[in-house]
A and B are shown apart, each in its own frame.
Chain A
Amino acid sequence: GAVVSQHPSWVICKSGTSVKIECRSLDFQATTMFWYRQFPKQSLMLMATSNEGSKATYEQGVEKDKFLINHASLTLSTLTVTSAHPEDSSFYICSARDPRVTGELFFGEGSRLTVL
């Protein structure tokens, strides 16, 4: 099946620094990628929809200046958590639809962010 890869899988940073998470579709081109956040024992919360070559669409309540999304190519989307704070510590997951496979969403491995 289609493969979506995230990097890094685990990152620890100091409060106030910025962290970049990459999401790549390895064997298909994804014009749209999705970024989710998962809190402990909670569902996957859609943060934003990343569109290749244009601005991301953010869900209500998600700060676009804090969570910068860039989708510069058909295989790469990046999420940058700017001026990270401990409350930003979470599990971030990207996903993409493989246009060759109807309906299904493929997920990356996820990135665990811990802000000290």
Chain B
Amino acid sequence: DQQVKQNSPSLSVQEGRISILNCDYTNSMFDYFLWYKKYPAEGPTFLISISSIKDKNEDGRFTVFLNKSAKHLSLHIVPSQPGDSAVYFCAATSVGNQFYFGTGTSLTVIP
């Protein structure tokens, strides 16, 4: 059973515009959420995270929004840059437990 879902396998966005990547989860016990960025043949790198006590966390061009009632989080990238082209994974966890990953969304930023 997939506890974390990313329903859009791919997304294309023009350079300079906003990229919005979505993620849904089913387990209400999750209290920490993360976004990872992955280039081909490389390990994922941490991008941004949010605790369940917050509904927004911002770091430069990257903002993560959390809607606990809808069990939904999103990653906003603005402005999008060609170097942002990668696969983005969302992950969810609770204290002391394993991380659950979504299937990833491949973002292509078109110059």
Chain A CB within 8 A of B85 CB: no
Chain B CB within 8 A of A41 CB: yes
Closest approach, in angstroms, between the C-beta of B19 and any C-beta of chain A? 20
Chain B CB within 8 A of A67 CB: no
Is there an interface contact between B45 and A107, defined as CB atoms closer than 8 Å?
A: yes
Q: Answer whether A106 and B89 are a contact pair too, CB < 8 Å, given A43-B103, A91-B41.
A: no
Chain B CB within 8 A of A74 CB: no
Q: Which of A11-19, A77-85, A108-116 contacts B (4 or more CB under 8 A)?
A: A108-116
Closest approach, in angstroms, between the C-beta of A41 and any C-beta of chain B? 7
Closest approach, in angstroms, between the C-beta of B46 and any C-beta of chain A? 6
Task: Please name the residue on chain A nearest to B4 by beta carbon.
Answer: A43
Is there an interface contact between B43 and A107, defined as CB atoms closer than 8 Å?
A: yes
B: residues with CB less than 8 A from A are 2, 9, 32, 34, 36, 41-46, 49, 51, 89, 91, 93, 98-99, 101-104
Given contacts A43-B104, A109-B43, 11 further A-B contacts (CB under 8 A): A1-B46, A4-B43, A10-B41, A42-B103, A43-B103, A95-B43, A103-B49, A104-B49, A105-B91, A106-B46, A109-B42
Sample 27 A-B pairs with CB under 8 A, ordered by A number.
A6-B43, A9-B41, A10-B41, A41-B9, A41-B104, A42-B103, A43-B103, A44-B44, A44-B101, A46-B98, A46-B99, A91-B41, A93-B44, A103-B32, A103-B34, A103-B49, A103-B93, A104-B49, A105-B34, A105-B46, A105-B93, A107-B36, A107-B46, A108-B43, A109-B43, A110-B43, A112-B41
